[in-house]
Amino acid sequence: MNTQDKIRQQLGASRIVLYMKGTPQFPQCGFSAKAAQLLSACGARYDSYDVLSDPELRQGLKEHSNWPTFPQLYVNGELVGGCDIMTELYQKGELQKLVTEAIAQ
């Protein structure tokens, strides 16, 4: 399976997917750690993937979404953004809404 198919499968397997450096328990970058914290603050269950352990996935995602950095949050297969967009949405209460609506569907 090529990388783009793998990404599509991962995005199809869960409504909320976080691609990050490291894992929620052991984040390897401050921005990835913040993204995981924001999602847990919203009480969201989500799939996370460590792009540091899969360089092909890391490169494939940059092309898939024309987004060069991590973390990358996807809801319902759509790119929501990275750490600063997630933070801005959280401060406006929109991240909570986005996440609860996705889970409720």
Partner 1 sequence: MVQARDIERMIEQGFPGARVRVTGDDGRHFEALVVSGAFAGKNMVQRHQMVYRTLGDKVGGEIHALSLKTLTPEEE
Listed ranges 1-9, 10-18, 37-45, 74-82: which one lies at the site for partner 1 (CB under 8 A): 74-82
Within 58-104, strands assigned E span 72-75, 78-81
DSSP class of 52? G
Measure the CA–CA gap between 29 and 63, rounded to whole angstroms.
21
| By CB under 8 A, residue 62 contacts partner 1 | yes
Tell me how far, at minimum, the Cβ of 92 lies from partner 1, in Å.
11
Task: Give the Å distances, CA to CA, from 77 to 7, 17, 38, 61, 96.
Answer: 10, 8, 19, 12, 17
| By CB under 8 A, residue 84 contacts partner 1 | yes
Residue with smaller CB distance to partner 1, 5 or 88: 88
Binding-site annotation, residues for glutathione: 21, 58, 70, 83-84
Given the rule CB under 8 A, which residues bind partner 1? 31, 62, 66-70, 79-85, 88
